[in-house]
Amino acid sequence: GVEVESGGETFVAEGNEIILSTGAIASPQILMLSGIGPAAHLEELGIPVVHDAPGVGQNLRDHPVVWVTWRTKPEIDLESLAFEPRSQLMLRYTATGSDLRNDVKISMSNFATDRVDRGGNRMVPVGVRMSIILDLAVSSGELKLTSADPNEQPSLFYNYFAEEFDRQRSREGIRMALKLAEHPDFESIIQERIEPQDSNIESDDALDTWMMKEATTGQHISGTCKMGPASDPMAVVAQNGRVHGIEGLRVVDASIMPDCIRANTNVTTMMIGENIADMVRSGS
């Protein structure tokens, strides 16, 4: 069954099968709080181990993003700029030397703000930016519990750019964005580059340092309860969403993707639900 807290009341809902569909953050969190996860981690928090599943919370995948930002000239109306082709740009390409097709994306935005984590106001634009998005990173992170209390948020370690291949591709994307900004259609609206500064791009090491500091989430977290055969010790669910080693439990959301797809995750997640719903109806 499922222990539920609603309106100040706690009760247990029972059924023949439990389908966990709470997303790539909450699904591994709930599994671990229920005793399904890496045994050593659960024991650290005093959670009784129901099933040692080392892959729960591991393989955290995402689309890491870094921004190249420019201040626009005072006479440029950013609202009008939104309707011009030069601010509707999105470039998908395969990085130099990569065998992962369409693994990088550069997206233009006509509404760039100062970073909120530095005291900026999200509603006050300063100019335009290009987002350099690594659509298929090879680095992966992990999600861990911070407490046995379900009201406490888990810890997410994204581990962005841990692999040189990821850093190499993102560096190339940043330099491509800088080159695009030299085009007359962009030069005519740009007053100055806000970030990265010249000192940040003078060498690979300098750019790596800047990227590691500036990288942020693409908000496409996935992979934390990855699908795979039972022979894979890090696989959490089978192709029908059933949790390996546990009867009557499935996970159906973005957490079961073995890797982050090269696109937004919402439609793929919907299709995962549609397909596994068919399997549930057919009894598989």
Catalytic residue check, 51: no
SS3 79: helix
Q: What is the C-alpha separation between 137 and 171, in angstroms, rounded?
A: 13
Which residues, in sequence order, are CB contacts of 244 under 8 Å at separation 6+?
A: 53, 230, 235, 236, 237, 238
Nearest C-alpha neighbor of 174 from the set 208, 127, 124: 208
152: its two tokens: 């406490």
Q: Which residues pair with 256 in a beta bridge?
A: none
Phi-psi region of 180 (alpha: psi -120 to 50; beta: other; left: phi over 0): alpha
Find the catalytic residue in 41, 183, 220, 244.
Answer: 220
Residue 6's beta-bridge partner residues? Answer: 9
Residue of 263, 162, 280 whose CA lies nearest to 222: 263
Give every CB contact of residue 2 below 8 A, 6+ residues apart in sequence.
Answer: 12, 13, 14, 18
The token pair that represents 178 in the structure block: 């800088």
| Dihedral sign from CA coordinates of 21, 26, 31, 33 | negative
How far is the C-alpha of 90 from the C-alpha of 271, rounded, in Å? Answer: 25
Torsional class of 252: left (φ above 0), alpha (ψ -120 to 50), beta (otherwise): beta
For the annotated catalytic residues, the residue numbers are 220
